[in-house]
Amino acid sequence: MTRPTDGAGTTGAQEALPRRVVRRSPGVPGSRAVVGGMLIAAAAVGTFVSWRQASSPPRHAYAVSSRPLQPGDPLTADDIRYQNIDLPAGVSAQAFDTPADLEGRVLVAPVGQGELLQQGVVSDQGEREPAAEVSLALDRDRAVDGRLRPGDTVDVYATHDDATSAVATGVRVIAVSDGGGSFTDGSEITVTLGLGEPEVRGAVIHAARAGQVTLVRTTHASRSSSPAASAPSAPATSAPAPASSTTPSPAAPGSPG
């Protein structure tokens, strides 16, 4: 038997040979496995850091009240203690961590024992504390429709007959309450003001007894635009101007006639 010499048999034999496949060496992880391992490791590190931060005690101290405080109370060292607290950035910016920042301040809102002291419950620094308090019963329309709150500042106006004048400016509101009992219609409120100088106290009391008092809220107004406190004064009168005359004045000596 003779084999064909045209090469057909040889080509068929070569095509029948199995292909060579390159396989990964056992024990070497793929790219997906590597990325997955890195993500798991990063999550584990984040969890550990969060746990350390949560379990560690707060390191920053902020001022809290050591006893219940009421509007008008001046802050003293006995009223304040400092406690380590973790606060969000927005809250910590309104809190106090230095005793000097609270010197000379007065409460403008009630604060409970252990409550955090923040900017909204204390007066401006250096403001004089009220020396006396007086309460006025006013119709709501003469007290900013009853929308006054402790800590507001007001100007006190008095109306007598046909004249209205300011009798006190920059007065601190200490408390606001409904004026009455079960027989009132809610149209009246009682406003307690903190007053300083004795003459200002007398002027406000006289205005409440002798005329009508109106409170103008100036909490958010510039103090330079508020009128100075004054008592009612008589209108200024001016001397009448001399009547004009058509008679020529005599000519000065030496001037042409």
**DSSP state at residue 229:** P
The SS3 call for residue 35 is helix
Q: Phi/psi class of residue 227: alpha, beta or left (left: φ > 0; alpha: ψ in -120 to 50)?
A: beta
**DSSP state at residue 196:** -
pLDDT, greater one: 226 or 27:
27
CATH architecture, domain 32-128: Alpha-Beta Complex (3.90)
Q: What is the mean pLDDT of the chain?
A: 74
Residues 6+ apart with CB under 8 A from 118: 91, 94, 95, 96
CA torsion through residues 26, 28, 29, 31, sign: negative
CA distance linking residue 135 with residue 155, whole number of Å: 15
pTM over 0.85: no
**Cβ-contact 127, 185 below 8 angstroms:** no
Residue 191 has pLDDT above 90, yes or no: yes
The runs of H, that is alpha helices, within the chain are 8-15, 31-55, 89-92, 198-210
pLDDT tens, residue by residue, 132-150? 889 999 999 999 998 888 7
Per-residue pLDDT, 23: 62
Q: Among 2-16, 86-100, 180-194, which range has the highest average pLDDT?
A: 86-100
Per-residue pLDDT, 239: 41
Res. 54 pLDDT band, cuts 50 70 90? low
**Cβ-contact 50, 103 below 8 angstroms:** no
